[in-house]
Structure 1
Amino acid sequence: MPDPSCTTAETLLIEGPDAVAFAQSQFTVAVASIAPGEWQFGAWLDAQGRVRYLFHLARLAPDRLLLLLRGGHADAMKNELSRFVFRAKLSLHADNSQSLATADALPLHQVHALDSVTRFGCDDHSLVLSSDANADTRWHSLQIAAGWPWLPDTLLGTCLPPALSLHRLHAVSLDKGCYPGQEIVARLHYRGGNKRHLCRVGLSQPMASGTLLEIDGDGSPIQLLNATSTDRGAEAIALCHSELACADEPVTATHAGQKVTVERLQTWPA
């Protein structure tokens, strides 16, 4: 079963005459280049370049932005972000009253907002904000296969963009102007040095998102991000150190005294 923490639609609405300029100055994505009716992955970093929040950023109208968070809580982000608003003409509204559900296919990066229904195009499916607590959650496995990470609460503010493969997702810009953490992003991109990589792994038994798996012997631990159950056990997106990110053979790990076999299925570029 999907992790319940990934099924609540935590959204933050930013609207007003200065909404785009404000978001452009704070977030990693080139907000001004997103056309109304489109979305892009984006992130909000701290001064050390670590990802505070990861999200889909949709431009619903020229001065209306909707962030669908991939981890964390919209109320907390609103409170943290409001400290930087100053005299900007905009409003922030957090909402966690809906669930995330799987809907019909919609081209990648399109967003459809009609009445109270908002759909984010994800190519072979779409994410829809739903009031149905028992909504279809097949999107979990589809997005794990695509390498779209979800950040557990314990990892907010701990991961650098390369570890989450944010360049691959076009979630960071190197030339759009200043934003928090930009110098770190550029340094890591041009000089390298990242030691953690985003991988898709198969697990011999279901494990919760956010679980840290200790590798038998001297290996570095595996940090699970989003995980979902399968007929064979589970699959997850995980942060793995370099030696495991290219391993061809399964490894044995331990969590809470239980042994679990971990097989690397895919590694995405930093």
Structure 2
Amino acid sequence: MPTHHSAETLLIEGPDARAFAHAQFSSPVSSLAIGQWQFSAWLDPQGRVRALFQLARLADERYLLLLRGGDAAAMADALHRFVFRSKLSVTAWPPRRLATGAVLPLHAVADDGENVSLGCGTHSLRLIATGAGDDAWRLPQLRAGWPWLPACLLGELLPPALSLQRLHAVAIDKGCYPGQEIVARLHFRGGHKRHLHRVTLSQAAVAGDTLRRDGREAGCVLDVVGTDDGIEALVVLSDDIAATVGAGHPHAFDDNLALDIIASWPA
């Protein structure tokens, strides 16, 4: 089955690439070794996630971003505004296909000069220039709680709602970056009331759908995968709503939707 997600990728390369990425993105970029990848995000000044991606260091001065939602050309244009006198280039690649590859250790990167593979532990995620993509990688990543952001939710969610600290996509102990004060405040004071859950759904839904109960907004759908046994999804739910949905006891939402929580993740 063709994949529903294309490989939206961009390259940051040049002598100042490392310093630029470390200053702009929320993960500890300076500690990323060549041949490794990490989850990362680009936040707005209010701490909302404007882009979520896998950041791979292909060479000493060369970084590849695989966006988990969003448009690479638009992000490259937005990043250009912050380059100033830095010695680097930001280039969006033409969209590639995503395919499931052989087992590769988690966070390992394989680059043969044409295709790039990102190790995901039980499989690898291949960014291929030619050939057919596939969907097989999506279910294990959904079950691992690796979010993919629909376009309508870019710039809408805070890192705790996506469990980004669990994924080491936000750093508390690095220098300033956009949204860092909000990240630190939420880490030390808590108080965020929306979190990530893996659920089963009683009927089809679309990434980006708003979940409602009794007319009240209860959460949103990030990703949906159909299986032989039903429909699984990653959703963000308000904590008070999630507390009423017991495992093994589906709870009714508006539009005749029943939802059962299979797994939940902290900030």
Q: Compute the TM-score of the two structures, normalised by the length of structure 2.
A: 0.95
Give the deviation of 1:133 after TM superposition: 6.2
User: Equivalent residue for 2:235?
Assistant: 238
8 Å CA contact 1:2–1:227 kept in 2: the answer is no
Whole-angstrom CA distance in 1 between matches of 2:99 and 2:238: 32
Do the aligned partners of 2:219 and 2:236 also contact (CA within 8 Å) in 1?
yes
Q: Report if the CA contact (8 A) 1:3-1:228 is conserved.
A: no
- Tell me which amino acid in the other structure corresponds to 1:102: T
Contact 2:114/2:128 (<8 A) preserved: no
- In the TM superposition, what is the alpha-carbon distance from 1:21 to its structure 2 partner? 0.4
The answer as to whether partners of 1:8 and 1:96 remain within 8 angstroms in 2 is no
- 2:68 is matched with which residue? 70
Which residue of 220, 226, 239 corresponds with 1:223?
220
The one-letter amino acid paired with 1:186 is A
Q: 2: distance between equivalents of 1:149 and 1:2?
A: 20
1:110 to 108, 112, 115: 108
Find the counterpart in structure 2 of residue 30 from structure 1.
28
Letter in 2 for 1:67: L
Q: Deviations over 1:218-250 (max 9, x none)?
A: 664230001111223311100001023332031
* Aligned equivalents of 1:97, 1:56: Cα separation in 2: 15
1:265 maps to: 262
* Cα distance in 1 for residues equivalent to 2:87 and 2:160: 33
1:183 alignment partner in structure 2: 181
Supply the distance in 2 between the matched residues of 1:219 and 1:251 (Cα, whole angstroms). Answer: 15
Q: List runs of 5+ in structure 1 lacking aligned partners.
A: none
Q: Percent identity?
A: 53
Matching of residue 251 in structure 1 with residue 251 in structure 2: yes
Alignment pair present for 1:141 and 2:139? yes
1:105 touches 1:122 (CA, 8 Å); kept in 2? yes
> Do the aligned partners of 2:9 and 2:95 also contact (CA within 8 Å) in 1?
no
Of 39-48 and 129-138, more deviation after overlay is shown by 129-138
Q: Contact 1:45–1:181 at 8 Å: present in 2 too?
A: yes
Partner of 2:44: 46
Structure 1 residue 61, shift from structure 2 partner: 0.5
Tell whether the 8 Å contact from 1:3 to 1:227 is kept in structure 2 after alignment.
no
In structure 2, the residue matched to 1:10 is 8
Alpha-carbon distance in 1 for matches of 2:81, 2:73: 13
TM-superposed deviation, 1:96 = 3.5
CA deviation map 1:24-53 (0-9, x unaligned) = 110001111000000000000000000000
Flag the 1:46–1:73 CA change in 2: closer, same or farther, 3 A: same
Q: Give the CA RMSD over aligned residues.
A: 1.5
CA separation in 2, counterparts of 1:73 and 1:81?
12
Amino acid at match of 1:250: P
Aligned length: 264
| Cα pair 1:214 1:220 within 8 Å, conserved | yes
Correspondence list, 1:166-205, <5 A: 166-205=164-203
User: Which stretch has the larger CA shift, 89-98 or 78-87?
Assistant: 89-98
Moved over 3 A (4+): 131-134
Greater CA drift, 166-175 or 90-99: 90-99
Q: CA deviation at 1:117?
A: 1.2
SS in structure 1 of the partner of residue 73 of structure 2: helix
Output the amino acid matched with 1:175: D
Amino acid in the other structure paired with 1:10:
E
Read off the aligned partner of 2:252 and give its amino acid letter: T
Evaluate the alpha carbon distance shift between residue 210 and residue 62 of structure 1 in structure 2; reply closer, same or farther with a 3 A threshold. same
TM-score by length of structure 1 reads 0.94
Q: Which amino acid aligns with 1:233?
A: G
The 5-angstrom pairing of residues 155-174 of structure 1 reads 155-174=153-172
